[in-house]
Amino acid sequence: MAGGWAQYGVRFAGSDGLKPLVGATAPLPSPSTTGGLRGVGARGGTLGFLGVGMSQAMELDAPLAGLVKNYDGLLNLVQVPLSRSPADPGSGEWSYTFPDLAPFAGAVRYCQLFVIDPGAPALVSATNGWRVEFGQ
């Protein structure tokens, strides 16, 4: 298995109607140390929460009314700070580079990034779902 990723589901707009997006910083073959996750196009200078699950889902009105949670299970949220200024909608970014992908070899995970954004109807914008397949 070579590793890879695919997006699915819908995104939810925040400030100025911009919709954040989640993706990869590089291919995710194991034992590469260059692979990582990233979120872009969100409100800057705020907090995001990365949700991770074991399978794809479509849970309506979760974690808040008007949103859709695109992964299974409990929220499994990890707090992540977003860079840049809140005065510049869409400038917020977050990234994480794995120090060692070997422990994830062959694993598949489903992720989604939620961002606190007072310009969003639910006060939270959200990326679409993201299927991550770690290579072997």
- Using H for helix, E for strand and C for coil, what is the string for 66-120? CCEEEECCCCCEEEEECCCCCCCCCCEEEEEECCCCHHHCCCEEEEEEEEECCCC
Q: Is the pLDDT of residue 30 over 60?
A: no
C-alpha to C-alpha distance for 48 and 92, rounded to whole angstroms: 10
Q: Is the pLDDT of residue 35 over 80?
A: no
| Mean pLDDT, the chain, integer | 85
Give phi and psi for 61, each to the nearest 5.
55, 40
C-alpha to C-alpha distance for 82 and 21, rounded to whole angstroms: 13
The confidence score (pLDDT) of residue 28 equals 64
